Amino acid sequence: MSLFYSTLKYLAVTLWSMFVIAPFLWALTTSFKDFQSVTSGATYIPWVDFEPTLDGWRSLFKSPAQGGIAIVEPFFNSVIVTAAGSGISIILGTLAAYSLSRFTFRVGPIRNGDITFFFISQRIMPPVVLSIPFFIMLGKLGLLDTLFGLVLVYVVLLMPIAVWIMVDFFNKVPIEIDETALIDGCNPYQAFFKVVLPNSVPGIIVAGMFCMIFGWTDFFFAFILTFTEVQLLPVAIVALNSSITPWWSLSAAALVSVAPLVVVAFVVERYLSKGNLSGALK
Amino acid sequence: MNFKHKYMFLLPGLLVLLAILIFPIGFTVRLSLSSWDSFYPGLDFIGLENYVRLFTDDSRFWEAFGRLSLLSLTTVFLQYIIGFSLALLVWKEIRFQRLFRVLFLIPMMTTPVIMTVVWRTVFHESLGPVNDFFSLFGMQPLWLSSEILSKFTVILVEVWQWTPFMFLLLLAGLLSLPKEPYLAASIDGAGPVRTFVYVTFPLMAPISIGAIIIRLIEASKIMDTVYVLTSGGPGTSTETSSFYIFIKGLREFQFGYSAALSITYLIIMIISFTVIAKILVKLMVRGE
């Protein structure tokens, strides 16, 4: 490749990388500011442009009464809801996907493809359409503003993703594996749990990562269905986005909330480079 | 295999999904035929009155829908072009390949609503770094409060957030392409451009179509970004369908009417996606 082309190539990837990183750098520098240095205009380099303080980071652990934003509890609420919602979705979704991939269903005009489509089509529904009936339904069941209520909603949100990825994945796991196990005297459940499942770990990890991403990043349902008892991280942070915004706390909180899933980016890349992902994503 | 076992695998998931969903969907249909609002809560029956109002007397809904089409088609188009270019750039040997791949993936791992809060400080019209830069040229563009620029800002944030998703699907596709067509192309002496037009692009057509449809579905739900960045404003210039339904339903508590909006919106969406999928298949597969 000519020098011109390769320069152009590196220029392009560098420019896009800078665009990707820019908001994180801005949040990082802002998180060390205080009222004075935020309101005096845009500044960038600590010690040169402004005097850095740790107030923003300290406020994450203080209660609102002390002028803080108490992010620890929302953080763990988010972890619990995401983990429980993803876990249930993966278990139920993997089982359903296995049956859709291996067996033939015929109920009237309904075939396998239609059942798969029914699962996946739940993603078309905008959150706002479901939020009002969910609001009324959870209210009737006394589950508004509880972790359990949110987990139920997240299962609807995440199971379609698990089914979508796992059906494609199982379609690529050769059926001979199951058949050999059955001939060796396993019943269908043993064949699934002892033979097929251990061979499906890469697919389950990919599905799990996608469930985690979409669970962790959801805002709207948590925003509508919880008020004071249970607060999730995104809701707690957006609550700061008022007219008198404490930019320093907000930036520190944003970085904390974003950090756990950045790890996922490394895992996804590993799978991508090893070629395991291309099978699971198509 | 034994007949009954297949249901043991399928039913737990299917029944849980149905159990959680059947009430909301049935209830929304019923709600759309009532006049439930904050003054007269309750499921009375008013027939199709809400739908008549929607089709004859609510230009704001249709404007929001037009705006949604504009925003989602533009962002998905940009995401496809940029995502495909990025995927092609880091597909073959390039220095720091894995670092770039990780970097390009990171935005989709971040919570949209939280990053939008950060973007809002970036585009803050007097204290943000963007206008700090533009003030060097004596300009103070109103990124969030002018009718045209606020749309641009929403698109930019959406492109930042979701191009990685397109990038991921397309790169995974590129990495799974067979080698033989490329050997044939190089034997025929095809250059990089011809190889792309006659080999890569046609081979990637099914994956491209899938990726575009998935992104369009997700983009049509655009809500968080608008809520935080502009709250639909200035005026209604960034108000999308979801946001309008949100205002009617959960701000003005016109539950009945917003249910009618939801049902109409869903039907339009299902029809549009079917049509768009057909058009895409025609456009992209024609070259083969």
CATH of the domain at B79: 1.10.3720.10
User: Over chain A (282 residues), what is each successive 10-residue block's mean pLDDT?
Assistant: 82 92 90 79 76 81 75 89 94 90 81 82 82 85 89 90 88 83 83 84 87 88 85 84 74 88 84 62 47
Chain A hits for B120, CB-CB cut-off 8 Å, are: 241
Q: Are A107 and B11 in contact (CB under 8 A)?
A: no
Residue from A230, A190, A210 nearest A85 by CA: A210
Closest CA relative to residue B218, chosen from A279, A24, A157: A157
Residue B74 lies in a domain: yes
Token pair listed for B282 = 């025609």
0.90 surpassed by pTM: no
Q: For helices B97-109 and B147-175, what crossing angle results, to 10°?
A: 130
Q: Distance from A144 to chain B by nearest Cα, in Å?
A: 14
Q: What is the dihedral of CA A80, A86, A92, A95, to 10 degrees?
A: -140
Of A10, A23, A98, the CB nearest to B118: A23
B153-172 residues touching A, CB cutoff 8 A:
160, 168-169, 171-172
Kindly list the structural domains of chain A, giving each domain's residue range(s) and its CATH number in brackets, ordered by start: 72-239 (1.10.3720.10)
| CB within 8 Å: B265 and A22 | no
Asked whether the CA dihedral B98, B99, B102, B103 is positive or negative, the reply is negative
Residue B257's CB: how many other CB atoms inside 10 A?
26
In a domain, B277, yes or no: yes
Would you say residue B227 lies in a domain? Answer: yes
| A13 with B94: Cβ contact below 8 A | yes
**Rounded to an integer, what distance in angstroms lies between the CA atom of residue B68 and that of residue B62?**
10
Question: Could you tell me the CA-to-CA distances from B15 to A207, B7, B22, B162 in Å, in that order?
Answer: 20, 11, 10, 32
Residue for token digits 């480079």? A273
Of A160, A157, A155, A164, whose CA–CA distance to A84 is shortest? Answer: A155
Question: Min CA distance, A70 vs chain B (Å)?
Answer: 16
Q: What is the band of B164 on the pLDDT scale with cuts at 50, 70, 90?
A: very high
B251 touches chain A (CB under 8 A): no
- What is the chain A residue with the closest CA to B90? A13
**Domain annotation covers residue B31:** no
Of B1, B223, B255, the CB nearest to A220: B223
Amino acid identity, residue B40? Y
pLDDT digits (tens, 9 = 90+) for B61-88: 899 999 999 999 999 999 999 999 999 9
Instruction: Tell which of B93, B117, B174, B253 to mutate to test the A interface (max A CBs under 10 Å).
Output: B117
The count of structural domains within chain B is 1
Let me know: does B211 contact B280? Beta carbons within 8 Å: no
Q: H or E segment at B219? A: helix B201-219
B89-111 per-position pLDDT tens digit = 988 877 888 889 899 999 988 88
Which residue of chain B has the CA closest to A211? B109
* A146: its two tokens: 């509880």
User: Hey, what amino acid is at A124?
Assistant: I
Residue B158 belongs to what domain range? 60-285
d(CA B61, CA B262): 11
Partners of residue A196 in chain B, C-beta under 8 Å: none
Query: Pick from A211, A188, A186, A208: which is nearest to A271 by CA?
Result: A208
Q: Does B15 touch chain A (CB under 8 A)?
A: no
Task: State the CB neighbour count (10 A cutoff) for residue A81.
Answer: 26
Between chains, do A258 and B115 touch, taking CB under 8 Å as contact? yes
Indicate whether B24 belongs to any domain: no
Within-domain flag for B50: no
> Inter-chain contact B112–A217, Cβ cutoff 8 Å?
yes
Within a domain: B33: no
B176 found inside a domain: yes
CA distance B164 to B105: 5
The alpha carbon of residue A92 is apart from the nearest alpha carbon of chain B, in Å, by 5
Q: What local confidence, expressed as pLDDT, does residue B2 receive?
A: 53
